[in-house]
Amino acid sequence: MKKQWMLPLTAVLGGAAAFVLRLIQQHTGFEAETGLPIPGNPAGTALAGLLAAMAVLLLLLVRQLPQEAESGPAFPDAFMTDDGKLLTLPVMGVFFTALSGLADLLEGLGMGSLMTLLSSAAAGPGGVPDAVLQIPAPGFSGKAQLLMAVLSMLAAAGLFASLLACRRRDGAAPRPVNGNWLLIPAVSLVVRLVLTYRIDSVDPSLSAYYVELLALVFLCLGFYRLSSFAFRAGRTRRFALYAGASIVLCIAALADGSPYLSSTLLYIGGALTLLGFLLLRLAVQSANAE
């Protein structure tokens, strides 16, 4: 296996391990009556240790990537490929991002109960502590979800248009891309992060929601670093670090069993999209080095 593939593979495997530990913590790490965390829960401690270890490991793997000059590669040149298979993952990610926007739209229009039921069924029994299910918790307002729906759909459209430009066609000039399209996902995620924090911060237990917040934070950073390539300010090392961390945290956040189907779809879409763009960038960088 080529060494450049070690970073995305490590991120996926680390995310899978974090998902298992987080799922165990959700089942054993909270009191059934109050929903408060149980001190010294082995799964919770192991999860925190794993996330710290993954941060160090990703940093070491990133430092093995070639360092670029001051004027970084431009978009879409830095992600151009003639292998359609490499576009499969990011296209799937865009599809899930669009579905997330659709779910927000339906929930914002008053179909929240149906979407919550579908999300709970997808999470399976015990996806969240019983106390969380029994005690009504604050949630997104209808207007907030409609705003997130519009932003998510615009983000999906911008990412899809950008991906079309990444496909190399023999004898054809690369399609021009407006760099502002790549800024929309980052802006969309910042809005969602603020709205999510307003809801989660009322919970006295940080361990109940810190994985979700970290996932949103690093998704913001990952898509921000992706957009920087459109302005010749991209750095592969920085993008790879944030993308890898986003993948780990998004996979782990799926174990939280969010009451919003849109959030679950967003974590899947964000992880797949960043993983796809990361593979594209590493493939192009490897080809240029040969």
Percent of the chain predicted with pLDDT > 90: 49
Give residue for tokens 């979800």: 145
| pLDDT tens digits along 5-25 | 899 999 999 999 999 999 999
CA atoms of 98 and 39, how far apart (whole Å): 39
| pLDDT tens digits along 174-195 | 666 777 888 999 999 999 999 9
Coil vs helix vs strand at 37: strand
Is the Cα torsion angle 225, 269, 180, 284 positive or negative in sign?
positive
pLDDT at 131: 39
Give residue for tokens 């799937």: 92
Which phi and psi angles does 135 have, rounded to 5°? -100, 120
What sections of the chain are H helices per DSSP?
6-28, 42-62, 88-106, 112-123, 130-134, 142-165, 183-200, 210-227, 236-253, 261-289
| pLDDT tens digits along 215-233 | 999 999 999 999 998 888 8
Buried b (16+ CB within 10 A) or exposed e, 27-46: eebbeeeebbbeeebebbeb
Domain boundaries along the sequence of the chain:
3-66+73-124+137-289
Residues recorded for the chain: 290
CA atoms of 284 and 287, how far apart (whole Å): 5
The model's pTM is 0.86
